[in-house]
Amino acid sequence: MAIFDNHIHLRPEFLGVQAAKEFERVGGTAIMLTHSPYEDVPIHRGEDFDRAFAKTLAMASAVRETTHLQVFVALGPYPVEFVGLRQALGLEAAIEAMRKGIDRAARLIADGKAVAFGEVGRPHFPVPAEVLAACNDLLGYTMEKAKELGCAVILHTEDPTPETFGEFATMASKAGLPPERVVKHHSTPFTRPEDTHGLVPSILAKETLISVAVKGGPRFLLETDYIDDPGRPGAVLGPTTVPRKTRAWLATGLLSEEACQIIHKDLPERTYGIELRP
């Protein structure tokens, strides 16, 4: 069956392709390679996102060339970068730089190089009111672009509550973006439609979370959020976690075959407009 890790970061200067090979070795078949900042590609202006996104796309190509994995890519300006840009450039210039990053990601999605915006949103820690407002406006702009492109948006935010899901659903509605095209990365284990307001939770492959999530039904994705950092080996979860845990939970009955079909194939295909193979 298909085994899909919905959120993983890989870096060529760290494990990179080797981590992808480990994922494949234990039964993984597909990944969502999600863009994140690179220390060697600092962002000082919107044009700098071109080189940063190119590095993520090159990593995707390297994995495709050396494995049989399906590699899908999400691109977008990481929201925490806005904090540094605001300090360096001022509020308005920082907003303009982030909008250019969104526009550049949109062009790559339109060209078929990526399938989603991600991870985008707002910092996961308290920030001044003007930063929060600017990030929310940028997220609304991203959702408008996603509506135009017919693609999904992968959110980086604080841990969500039903109220937070409702807030993002309202943003999506204003942009004309269907809620089922909005994925909450690193989600809490809310899975009932009345709690998620139609958004798609992507949940770390931890039994403490999944045992709660399945009570609301298998309408969620699994992720590791592996960050490929030699200073933090295995953080957040190691690259083999999703395949290993999925098979273990099948064996114990925590997940049924039907649930795995939804989590690893049906739901990601509907969310991202992709086709996953076993």
pLDDT(230) > 90: no
For residues 242 and 224, is the Cβ–Cβ distance under 8 A?
yes
CA atoms lying within 13 Å on the CB side of residue 16: 17
How is residue 242 written in tokens? 């999703």
Q: What is the pLDDT of residue 232?
A: 87
Q: What is the pLDDT of residue 238?
A: 96
Question: What is the residue-averaged pLDDT of the chain?
Answer: 97
pLDDT(210) > 90: yes
Tens-place pLDDT, residues 110-131: 999 999 999 999 999 999 999 9
Mean pLDDT of 71-91: 97
The domain defined by 4-272 folds into: TIM Barrel (3.20.20)
Q: What is the pLDDT of residue 254?
A: 98
Q: What is the pLDDT of residue 231?
A: 86
Mean pLDDT of 209-234: 94
Rounded CA separation 42/62 (Å): 22
Q: What is the pLDDT of residue 65?
A: 98
Maximum distance among all alpha carbons in the chain?
54
Quick one: which of 171, 218, 189, 239 has its CA closest to 22?
239
The proportion of the chain whose per-residue pLDDT surpasses 90, expressed as a percent, equals 98
Tens-place pLDDT, residues 130-177: 999 999 999 999 999 999 999 999 999 999 999 999 999 999 999 999
Structural domain boundaries in the chain: 4-272
Q: What is the pLDDT of residue 234?
A: 80
pLDDT(258) > 90: yes
How is residue 98 written in tokens? 């982030």
**225 vs 234: which has the higher pLDDT:** 225
Sign of the CA dihedral 106, 123, 82, 238?
negative
Name the strands in the sheet holding 4-8, side by side, starting at the edge strand that comes first in the sequence.
4-8, 30-34, 70-75, 116-121, 152-156, 182-184, 200-204, 221-223
Q: What is the pLDDT of residue 95?
A: 98
In degrees, rounded to 5, the angle at the alpha carbon of residue 171 between the alpha carbons of residues 31 and 223 is 20
Tens-place pLDDT, residues 32-77: 999 999 999 999 999 999 999 999 999 999 999 999 999 999 999 9
Contacts of 273 (CB under 8 A, 6+ apart): 115, 150, 151, 152
